[in-house]
Amino acid sequence: MDSLSRRRFLRISAATIAATSATAGVARLAGRAAGEGGPARGLHTVPTFCDICFWKCGAMAYVEDGKLWKIEGNPADPLSEGRLCPRGTGGVGAHFDNDRLKAPLIRRKRRGDDEWVQVTWDEALGHVAEKMQAIKATYGPEAVALFSHGLGGTFFKHTIRAYGSPNIAAPSFAQCRGPRDVGFHLTFGEEVGSPERTDIRNARCLVLIGSHLGENMHNTQVQEFAAAMDAGASLIVVDPRFSIAAGKAKHYLPIRPGTDLALVLAWMHVLVTEGLYDREYVAQHGFGFEAFAAELAPYTPEWAYPETGIEPAVIRETAREMARFRPATLVHPGRHATWYGDDAQRSRAVALLNALLGSWGRKGGFYAPTSMDVPGYPYPDYPAAPLGKVDNPGGRYPFALETLTTGIREATLTGQPYPIKGWFTYATNLVTALPNEAETIRAIQNLDLLVVVDVIPGEMAGWADVVLPEATYLERYDDLNVELFREPFVALRQPVVPPPHDQQPNWWIARELAKKLGLESYYPWKTIEEYLEFRLTKAGLSFAELKQKGILRGRPQPIYYEDGLTPEFPTASGKIDFYSTALRDKGFDPVPKYTKPADPPSGMFRLLFGRAPVHSFGRTQSNPILHEMMEENELWLNADVAARMGLADGRYVRLRNEDGVVSNRVKLKATQRIRPDCVYMVHGFGQRAVRLRRSLGRGASDAQLTTRYKTDPLMGGTGMNVNFVAVEAEA
């Protein structure tokens, strides 16, 4: 625990900074592009797409007299329809954040110490390449893993694969949407995807289970949610907390945390026993319905009531409401689905419920997304990786569709099935993204190399050996966004203003590193524009036109069965698997079964967390504009409980979990808007990175308190809503 308690974060001791002004100027030229050559006076606009979250909304950046002014939506963009969310609108703050990383850094002493040397890119990348070659020589290239979040990781993935490692993972699978995609994949043969293929706009009945649209600011979804509300859609919200969406709901179900699967099973029971499901759709597309229906027999509303706290009459009424509007009834699959460890099965239940309602492939339910056909760049084949992937030895999690971040972490900790000696992270703060940060920090101790690529000096950067500063999305080109969505389009990210210091774009960093590793052959293009133009020309599109418009749209394709789209279900049976032989054959429940969650220990509350519309995870708290919108998070505690505990609204408290971890002080929000048995806070606060002055010590960190997690046996997802906390007054 020593390294944990003596936490040291990124700081620069003035005496150790080397002068780099000459190299900085040269390095900047490499990133320059046409978008930066705008007029020095007057107003001009540059289209690009946003990177404050992963949605990639088309944006229009305004530059006045050479200085970045504001960002609006690109009206040509199908994702945003010309309107950005508050984070995108506040994106200029990322450019102006004076606490952002400015130059490459190499740590001087022990990992986690706070002393750094500012170096040139040449030195930094040379050092990284040297270490990587050493690891390759001793352990093989598979011993270097890449953790990447977002489109900007594309070129890093390319370099790492070229280097010879297959171990590339995104936390968004095992720590977020993984269970949902697996649950739907097991049922329909396809994942939900991102952006989710939810036809919220046309839904006449929308069911949100824990999903808090409006606070969760997936732009397209919130826009469609509002459109559906405006059209009079019937909204059913299931949430232990009275969310913003709950405030608009026709039916609000204040469910006991951890019992959602019981409710879904009971709903399905009602639909089946009352014959309210889409018989024709099920008959035409379903496999194993009878066996499935038989499994549902015990899950009556009366059975579900003591589990969930939702009255049988309400369960029946809401089931009937869903049936009333089918197939335009959408039971939203959610996004962050890693809750209780049985999440893939719970998500499968949600998929099955949608299947009963006939919403998959139908208008108002789930559409079939399309994308533009833009070929990739022809690269040489990647080297074979004889050791194979490290994250899921023996297919322990047989239904994992993507690489497991926590699997890589475990291999790093144990050295099994083979050692992992190097980590690259791109745009992900692993200490807060992965549950149980103690494990992450212990794993880091086993590394010979930790490279962190980011825009801001977050906590993960504090543990790095080498920190590489990336330019923000407003200052760089990126790979094309060829989105899978309602209609095909391709979007371009291009520089609006030059990076203010020695920051570089991801493609440049990845390419220069590749050169240092002797992998030039994998980067045959000389400039990023050449790369982009090549791909676009192959697709029959004009790079010049894309630069000018930001978005090029293709011809809309049919996306519903109603429009003639052929239903296809790439499952084991070739149909919708109401009964999954694939699951049965691996020893899992072919139809989801309910597991009762643990009750909170006496005097404790289940810790729940979620999103705020003005922040993205922990990456926007330093953005001066977004910081001002929400400077700290609050701890939501039921007002009556707070009154009994003598805790007044607005006073500061601390949370203590079952493992004795105590949070930072956090403001109490004593409110009627939450059940008495749980507490809630917005994720991303309680930051400890000293160089991020705005966010340091503001609010509390749910991630820090997430010391326990339940791993989903189907696919390795880490259920994180399994921690209980006590609330203590701040002295």
DSSP character for 28? H
Residue 549: burial class (beta carbons within 10 Å; 0-12, 13-18, 19+):
middle
Q: Does 72 bind other proteins (CB under 8 A)?
A: yes
Q: Does 645 bind other proteins (CB under 8 A)?
A: no
Q: Does 673 bind other proteins (CB under 8 A)?
A: yes
**Per-residue contact flags (x/-) with other proteins for residues 126 to 155, judged by CB under 8 A:** ------------------------------
Shortest Cβ distance from residue 269 to other proteins (Å)? Answer: 23
Q: Are 252 and 674 in contact (CB under 8 A)?
A: no
- Residue 671 in 3-state DSSP? strand
Which residue number, 467 or 625, has a Cβ lying nearer to other proteins? 625
Candidates 184, 252, 605, 724: give the one binding other proteins (CB under 8 A): 252
Closest C-alpha to 84, from 113, 61, 106:
61
Distance from C-alpha of 525 to C-alpha of 243, rounded to nearest angstrom: 49
Only one of the segments 346-354, 371-379, 564-572, 626-634 lies at the binding site for other proteins (rule: CB under 8 A); that segment is 626-634
Candidates 638, 657, 695, 701: give the one binding other proteins (CB under 8 A): 638
Distance from C-alpha of 349 to C-alpha of 334, rounded to nearest angstrom: 13
Only one of the segments 247-255, 278-286, 382-390, 549-557 lies at the binding site for other proteins (rule: CB under 8 A); that segment is 247-255
Residue written as token pair 């099955």? 352
Q: Does 681 bind other proteins (CB under 8 A)?
A: no
Shortest Cβ distance from residue 362 to other proteins (Å)? Answer: 25
Strand partners, 251: 236
Which residue number, 116 or 225, has a Cβ lying nearer to other proteins? 225
Q: Are 683 and 617 in contact (CB under 8 A)?
A: yes
Interface of this chain with other proteins, residues 77 to 96, rule: CB under 8 A: 80, 83-86, 89-90, 92
> ∠633-210-309 over CA atoms, to 5°?
110
Stated as kind and residue range, the H or E segment containing 346 is helix 343-357
> ∠503-505-506 over CA atoms, to 5°?
120
Distance from C-alpha of 720 to C-alpha of 325, rounded to nearest angstrom: 34
Which residue number, 179 or 613, has a Cβ lying nearer to other proteins? 613
Candidates 31, 47, 58, 73: give the one binding other proteins (CB under 8 A): 73
Distance from C-alpha of 393 to C-alpha of 401, rounded to nearest angstrom: 14
Cβ neighbors of 518 (< 8 A, separation 6 or more) are none
Candidates 443, 546, 674, 678: give the one binding other proteins (CB under 8 A): 674
Q: Does 629 bind other proteins (CB under 8 A)?
A: yes
Shortest Cβ distance from residue 80 to other proteins (Å)? Answer: 8
Shortest Cβ distance from residue 124 to other proteins (Å)? Answer: 34
What is the CB neighbour count within 10 angstroms for residue 540? 9
Q: Does 371 bind other proteins (CB under 8 A)?
A: no
Cβ neighbors of 487 (< 8 A, separation 6 or more) are 78, 370, 553, 554, 556, 557, 559
Which residue number, 248 or 549, has a Cβ lying nearer to other proteins? 248
Which residue number, 219 or 506, has a Cβ lying nearer to other proteins? 219
Q: Does 499 bind other proteins (CB under 8 A)?
A: no
Residue 265: burial class (beta carbons within 10 Å; 0-12, 13-18, 19+):
buried
Distance from C-alpha of 311 to C-alpha of 318, rounded to nearest angstrom: 11
Interface of this chain with other proteins, residues 32 to 71, rule: CB under 8 A: 69-71
Q: Does 644 bind other proteins (CB under 8 A)?
A: no
Distance from C-alpha of 593 to C-alpha of 714, rounded to nearest angstrom: 13
Q: Does 633 bind other proteins (CB under 8 A)?
A: no
Interface of this chain with other proteins, residues 227 to 246, rule: CB under 8 A: 227, 229-230, 242, 244-246
Shortest Cβ distance from residue 503 to other proteins (Å)? Answer: 22
Shortest Cβ distance from residue 345 to other proteins (Å)? Answer: 27
Q: Does 217 bind other proteins (CB under 8 A)?
A: yes
Candidates 614, 661, 666, 700: give the one binding other proteins (CB under 8 A): 614
Candidates 439, 671, 677, 694: give the one binding other proteins (CB under 8 A): 671
Shortest Cβ distance from residue 90 to other proteins (Å)? Answer: 5
Q: Are 434 and 706 in contact (CB under 8 A)?
A: no
Starting from the edge strand earliest in sequence, which strands make up the sheet with 168-169, in order?
Answer: 116-118, 105-107, 466-469, 449-454, 422-426, 144-148, 168-169
Strand partners, 234: 205
Candidates 21, 40, 672, 731: give the one binding other proteins (CB under 8 A): 672
Distance from C-alpha of 84 to C-alpha of 334, rounded to nearest angstrom: 21
**Residues contacting other proteins: total by CB under 8 A:** 47
Footprint of other proteins (CB under 8 A): 69-73, 80, 83-86, 89-90, 92, 213-215, 217, 219, 222-223, 225-227, 229-230, 242, 244-248, 252, 254, 613-614, 624-626, 628-629, 638-639, 671-675
